Amino acid sequence: MRCIAIRHVAFEDLGAFEPLLRERGFGIDYRQAGVDPISEDDWMQADLAVVLGGPIGINDLPLYPWIADELQLTAMRMRAELPLLGICLGAQMMAAALGAEIYPGPSKEIGWSELTLTRAGQASPLKHLAGVPVLHWHGDTFDLPGEAELLASTALTPHQAFSLGRFGLALQFHPEVRGETLEPWLIGHTAELGHAEVDINRLRVQSKQHAAALREAGRAMLDAWLRDCGLLARGPVPV
């Protein structure tokens, strides 16, 4: 099987998800947003497509015209009901492609905290994240698309995750982050962290405390979702 992952900055990759995907038989094909071409045939023939996070936003379209192409690819994948995972910016791409408004949240949400799962979320693959702090790192948020089912919230961001049937999963937070590779995030986003007055040392300590548990919970969540999508045989989630 083949996974195409659109990457916006080098250090925000599939992270802890990549080893699991390779274990489950996926080849990983990264495409750099704004640089690497993606044909419609290539995109639609991939077994799994992932749109990863990044420091830009949907409303930066006048500065980054290729965002329109990425939105179009995202919409095509959803119309065809093909497996699509959106993380952070990718979740906003999914919401925007469905016609939802994207706008700045009340403040930046950067740090580790637990999700509040909806009833649907508790019955979804996100059940594996219950009680596990996840990494939040975003400034924008979005309205919930009419076709979507809300799965999770936080006090600051009511729309943290949504699903589209069994084929689409949008996650505003970062379940894929690896604690051992977080330092490039702290370096690459230093201007944003400084502007938001985030205590980098505290964020680093929190990451050491929570990253290992998130890795295991995120692995179980992704495995369950891949099975729901029909990309893996149903049955017990391997340890």
Q: What is the pLDDT of residue 180?
A: 86
Q: What is the pLDDT of residue 10?
A: 93
Q: What is the pLDDT of residue 179?
A: 87
Report pTM: 0.95
Domain ranges of the chain: 2-228
Q: What is the pLDDT of residue 234?
A: 56
Contact at 8 Å (CB) between 93 and 86?
A: yes
Q: What is the pLDDT of residue 232?
A: 87
Q: Express each pLDDT in 141-199 by its tens digit.
A: 999 999 999 999 999 999 999 999 999 999 999 999 998 889 999 999 999 999 999 99
Contact at 8 Å (CB) between 75 and 97?
A: yes
What residue ranges of the chain have pLDDT lower than 50?
A: 236-239
Active site residues: 88, 174, 176
H-helix segments, 104-199: 119-122, 183-188, 190-195
Cα–Cα separations (whole angstroms), residue 198 to 44, 111, 155, 191: 40, 9, 18, 10
Q: What is the pLDDT of residue 238?
A: 46
DSSP state, 166? Answer: T
Q: What is the pLDDT of residue 41?
A: 96
Name the CATH architecture for the domain at 2-228. Answer: 3-Layer(aba) Sandwich (3.40)
